[in-house]
Structure 1
């Protein structure tokens, strides 16, 4: 089974039930499946064959959902790309992944016109119209890429709504997800149909997502968190996806209330914005049965404050692109543990090992490694990187973790982010947790900086609540009450906001670059 075949089955099972809602328009499972088949057939008529690579440079929209499922039904491999990446970043991924067809926003047409000589492998551009009010005024007939271009609407129109595509196997590559490139050039994690389907199915079952659920999809769909948890998981089990183009606290409160949404998935930053939004009320979110957090560690103080104010549970989980992505979640049928990423989901094994790959005793810190049907087949065209990351069937995550006596895992920090002060290990998250517990602090990020005496020192970047009069001395004094001496920051810098990526994850790397500059 794969997600496209499951959609065909669900179209028969759920018929006119809404598969997704976008800008107040509902699309049924039958309509969605028909559009997917038409898109797949149009690709086939264009000459796209099984195994060809298709990139999606789109925001959250029906275009993305139809493009994803349609390309998979055609037997193609999908490469989702952040549409606001720089031209260099986009060009690198398109060339590295050998993409033949690009499905993109019309606002990106000037970029592709400029980059055309640098993208010799691109044969076709399928252009998606932006919502009314944002139309491009560009005369595309004058462009050198005009012959490659087709509009999404005209492209899909003559397609066969009954087309089922070639046979695909579970080990065929379905999606290539490019990592964020925190340590050099991005790497393409190849996820098979089995990886994608199994993780979505296991997550849906673990979180009890079913046909009665209405799931908010405001995380970027090109990111694996949204792709699996807020898109594929509900669609596999007959739920309805409420597509939200971009995150806005005010919009989320009104959309949840309007559609009586039952599940919200977000990163910690989103929960922080929702918590700080003055007009937000418990009444707005009363339909939610579950909130899901991932993408970064959630500060315990934030989790407790959000749950107390809005009376809804947050289940924190863990994942990475190379694992499609989910490996752990806090269970719904037993106590959650704030600060924990939960337990291994069904069919997935997690364990903590030392430098030799041997499992460490309960409570000790080591590297988290993962095994299961969700683990990627490897990095695209990078056999050495693959061999380093996947050993004896285990995926080495690069994250430091510990496990308690009940099997709950805790992420201590990224292996690369650990700070060594005079020979002592300092985990940035531990310092961040302390500062998050201060009543005036909204956001915080901790990095290591060079120090002549101790090798490294702890530096903090803090955002405080508007109107609060907080000094560095006050926060340092607070840290002294809660941290060992070697963990206390050497300096605290106040910022109006912290740098984040498109999913809202705080970018420590950008702060490190800022310090170097």
Structure 2
């Protein structure tokens, strides 16, 4: 249906609740009316700068009111929003420029130098704009009609680059609206809710889950520009935050605060967590506060969240990510594209209204990844007899030891069950006997004997999955800009690990 767009939803809520808060960041608060006026002003400035419908508009900077206005202005101007990673160096950003060819990049003052340096060597570099001018300029410039084709692209999200050169994941109005409708069915508390956005807008979790979804569903957004667990806890209490989502480490850090037990966070109704294994201890810690953590699953190509476990399921099966959606189908497939029986690992495939429409100007990769109406995730999962899904690893994060597949995520989850373990990562290292064998890299809060780690794993897992190396670290594990453990760095750092650490022998079993 024509005119069914993100913009129509924003305009509808502005009419219904013009004076209600829409966006809160530090001491700045914008009502729906103020946000819409600012969006139109930004759009006029972008149009006057040469932006035409379909042009890519990059926005570079941390969480801020200016970022939000620039992003909405890009969409209102008919452009395609391209959220750029504020942690990128100029070389990385230049690769994104080459891939997406933005006409304009709106860059915050802190990122201006890198935004300009990234233009080096580009034949038609983007025009760099200051986001502050988008708010102060009031131009009499005709804007494209807000009602457009729902199949038009809204945004292109560059991937983090962990798999190589950047890819641009394309979302349309209809794919986003379909996903947000799914959310309202799965968790009605999302409607009109106040959301705490912890994530960078350059990722699906920040842009889609934490920004566009609350606006489409008539809620309001509280932005936390710089992660601080104490500030996050205070905002939940003072702003009466009802929904939030984030990676596991955020919730682990908040749970260790001295103020965690005394802070009133009773306003929280829907909390999704993921990105790294979630332990029962963490779920129980938040449950004692009356808050149910629900381990969701998704990726950039599927709006970062397509499973919606109940609180009860998360408590009973903390390793599970749920069953899939109401409108979204999640299957575990074998190599031939046949559904796997319960207990048999296979690749996770997703089909539904919220799946991305493909990769920007890459038909071959789009056909390979989104073949036959299915998103082939590259993640390995398994269903239990109840139908609940457990993610056991990446197809690219599998250690093949003596011909046996060992999924790093499964071993990491087991190690993280030990209370003293703060962080854990499993990598494969070379092995004369089995070709490759698992090594676990740990950071702990107290001294833990290596044999305790090994004994725990032997009690939980098949013997061939037990790590042959246990390495303790004083420093935190390196993480990507999306706060996931960066195994590329770890593999490079420990490439010769067997030469410097004792191997633990395998027992017969």
Equivalent residue for 2:74, pick from 71, 84, 87? 71
Partner SS state of residue 449, structure 1? strand
Are 1:353 and 2:328 matched, yes or no? no
Corresponding position: 1:395 with 2:375: yes
Paired residue for 1:109?
112
- The offset of 1:486, in angstroms, is 1.5
Match of 1:144 in 2: none
Q: What's the CA shift string for 1:410-441, capped at 9, x where partnerless?
A: 11111110111112221112211221111211
Per the alignment, residue 134 of structure 1 pairs with none
Q: Could you say if the C-alpha distance between residues 119 and 106 of structure 1 is closer, same or farther in structure 2, counting changes exceeding 3 Å? A: farther
- In 2, the alpha carbon distance for the partners of 1:368 and 1:211 equals 29
Structure 1 residues 40 and 209, CA, compared in 2 at 3 Å: closer, same or farther?
Answer: farther
Task: Indicate if the aligned counterparts of 2:293 and 2:311 stay in contact, CA closer than 8 A.
Answer: no
Match of 2:469 in 1: 491
Q: Secondary structure at the match of 2:458?
A: helix
The corresponding residue for 1:280 is 260
2:58 equivalent in structure 1: 55
Question: CA offsets, 1:268-291, max 9 Å, x none?
Answer: 111111122233225332221222
Please report the TM-score for the alignment, with normalisation by the length of structure 2. 0.91
Of the candidates 377, 390, 411, which is equivalent to residue 410 of structure 1? 390
**Partner Cα separation in structure 1 for residue 482 and residue 17 of structure 2:** 31
Find the counterpart in structure 1 of residue 452 from structure 2. Answer: 474
Unaligned runs of 5+ in 1: 130-150
Instruction: State the shift of 1:503 in Å.
Output: 2.5
Partner of 1:140: none
Asked if the contact 2:277/2:409 (under 8 Å) is kept, the reply is: no
Offset at residue 332 of structure 1 (A): 6.1
Deviation at 1:118?
A: 2.3
Cα RMSD for the two superposed structures: 2.1
CA distance in 1, matches of 2:71, 2:182: 20
How far, CA to CA, are the matches of 2:300 and 2:376 in structure 1?
12
* Alignment counterpart, residue 128 of structure 1, candidates 128, 131, 138: 131
CA distance in 1, matches of 2:251, 2:354: 27
1:4-153 pair list within 5 angstroms: 4-128=7-131, 151-153=133-135
Select between 225-234 and 267-276 the one with higher mean Cα deviation: 225-234
1:175-226 C-alpha deviation (Å, 9 max, x unpaired): 1111222322121112122122221232244222355521111111221012
CA-to-aligned-CA distance 1:18-75 (integer Å, 9 cap, x gap): 0111113221111111111121122222221110011111211112222222211211
Partner residue, 1:421: 401
How far the C-alpha of 1:333 sits from its partner, in A, is 8.8
CA distance 1:159–1:8, shift in 2 (3 Å): farther
Task: Find out whether 1:199 has 2:202 as its counterpart.
Answer: no
Alignment check: 8 A CA contact 1:365 1:400 kept:
yes
Residue 253 (1) aligns with residue 233 (2) = yes
Q: How does 1:207-286 map to 2 (within 5 A)?
A: 207-210=187-190, 212-286=192-266
Provide the residue aligned with 1:146 in structure 2.
Answer: none
Cα deviation code 1:275-311 (max 9, x no counterpart): 22233225332221222113x1432334334324433
Q: Which runs of 5+ in 2 are unaligned?
A: 497-509
> When the two structures are superposed, what TM-score results if normalisation uses the length of structure 1?
0.90
Question: In the alignment, is the contact (CA less than 8 A) between 2:93 and 2:118 conserved in 1?
Answer: no
The corresponding residue for 1:508 is 487
Q: C-alpha offsets along residues 304-325 of structure 1, whole Å, 9 cap, x if unaligned?
A: 3432443310122111111233
Cα-to-partner distance string for 1:342-386 (whole Å, 9 max, x where unaligned): 122232111111011111112221001011122222212222111
Q: Measure, in 2, the Cα distance between the counterparts of 1:153 and 1:33.
A: 11
